[in-house]
Amino acid sequence: MDFPPRTPWKLTYLPVDYQWQPAIGHRVVINHHRILGGMRYFDGHYLIGDGINDAGLVCAELFFPVAADYQEWVRPQTLALTPQDFINWVLDSHDSVAAVLAELDQVSVVGQPWFDRQQYPFHWLLMDGSGTYVIEPLNGRLRARLNPAAVFTNTPDLDQQVGHLNAMLGLAGHQFSRATIHRLQTYFQPGPQGGNSVDRFKRAALARWRGRPSTPQQLRTFLQDVTVPHNQRHAHSYTHYQAVIDRYRGEYTFYDLASGQRVQKNLASLTGPVPNRF
């Protein structure tokens, strides 16, 4: 995951009945699901970068600068959330993507700072047994839809990313179609080597549809290809950790890129009543 340098990211477990408070308003939210994911801890609060819950629902937040357009105010009778809070609400309260989408109108995501006084624009990837979805804050509302490309990176929005991908493949339009898949599977030229999110999206799509990495080692090799290194060029925002999540087994493997540490935990074996950072 690519984030600015703040407090360290650690593989972290949050239990059922864990109580947390969004950064705006005074509501307290109680976890209905156990969560395992990459998290930061700041002043008594957990910020989730990505994770899986005990129902097999996966969610990840990704940077969405420039394009993000959140609500300006909290709608009456809704739960107020900052962009950083949204993933907590997704994973702690829902057992499927359908359940999340059914309750989107019950939250207001507004562009306000989190507890560390920072506000970063995000959009979100969600996954369960029904497929891969995205939720993007566009035109002042949350736009949710199926993501047939099954890959996702930072800005721009999904339509533009698919448009850039199609252009590389010699296709027109912003629809990820059967023709897109066919061109990806028969694309034998070298993939784009740039480090921006558009090139990374293209490489991810090529890997997903042409190479289809499936083993942990294949997935790790793919992650290395799209990692943003910590160097002078990327001194502010870079990849802090890599994650491989096995949704079927509830297993999360966390690779800390600063220390080289590898931590693997299975959510089925984590049933304690208190949070745990590994």
Q: What confidence tens digit (pLDDT) does each residue in 203-217 have?
A: 999 999 998 888 888
Is the pLDDT at 35 greater than 90, yes or no?
yes
CA torsion, ordered 8, 12, 17, 22, to nearest 10 deg = 30
pLDDT of 98 reads 98
- Give the mean pLDDT of the chain: 93
pLDDT tier at 5, thresholds 50, 70, 90: low
Whole-number pLDDT of residue 6? 67
CA–CA separation, 189 vs 197, rounded Å?
19
Model pTM score: 0.93
Go through 5-21 and write b for each residue having 16 or more CB atoms within 10 A of its CB, e for each that does not.
Answer: eeeebbbbbbbeebebe
232 pLDDT tier (thresholds 50, 70, 90): low
Rg of the chain's alpha carbons, rounded to an integer? 18
Q: Quick one: fold of 2-147+235-277?
A: Penicillin V Acylase; Chain A (3.60.60)
pLDDT value of residue 54: 98
| pLDDT above 70: percentage of residues in the chain | 95
Query: Looking at the predicted structure, is the pLDDT value of residue 229 above 80?
Result: no
pLDDT band at 109 (very low <50, low <70, confident <90, very high): very high
How far apart (Å, rounded) are the C-alpha atoms in residues 276 and 34? 12
CB-based contacts of 208, cutoff 8 Å, min separation 6: 149, 150, 151, 184
Q: Give residue-wise pLDDT tens across range 152-200.
A: 999 999 999 999 999 999 999 999 999 999 999 999 998 898 889 999 9
Question: Among 42-56, 76-90, 97-111, 234-248, which stretch is predicted with the lowest mean pLDDT?
Answer: 234-248
Question: For the chain, first and last CA: distance in Å?
Answer: 17
- Per-residue pLDDT averaged across 64-70, rounded? 94
pLDDT given for residue 12 in this prediction: 98
